[in-house]
Amino acid sequence: MPELKDNPFRQRIAQVFSEDGDGHMTLDNFLDMFSVMSEMAPRDLKAYYAFKIYDFNNDDYICAWDLEQTVTKLTRGELSTEEVSLICEKVLDEADGDHDGRLSLEDFQNMILRAPDFLSTFHIRI
């Protein structure tokens, strides 16, 4: 699929949208994925799936380890470890509402509400 060939999160996308969770997608899963990533999908739906994509260990929370994985994949490993941990700390400071050290789905959705760009970036044109 050319749209996802170079996406750093392509494995996570495949895992999230596949039925058995290990990346093998049926046609229905494929349609689901493009329906969520299309222009017409509502913001909450996109936020829900984005949360699942960034939750690397599938525990329904984005913890510090998940954040580190995300930042590393975003920058292709070119930031130093201190910088990565500093960024994760600041992200948790900003987005963690109940101060339990990780982001729940509500924290994530709350943050997405404040980012009007999300709808245009979390979007694949077919």
Q: Count CA within 13 A, CB hemisphere, residue 9.
A: 19
In the chain, count of helices (H) and strands (E)?
7, 0
Q: Which residues 87-116 are close enough to bind other proteins by CB under 8 A? A: 87, 90-91, 94-95, 97-102, 104-106, 108, 111-116
Name the residue among 50, 60, 86, 59 with its Cα closest to residue 71: 86
Give the residues lining the site for other proteins (CB under 8 A). 2-3, 5-9, 28-29, 31-32, 35, 37, 40-42, 44-45, 48-50, 54, 57-61, 63-65, 67, 70-71, 74-76, 78-79, 83, 86-87, 90-91, 94-95, 97-102, 104-106, 108, 111-118, 120-125
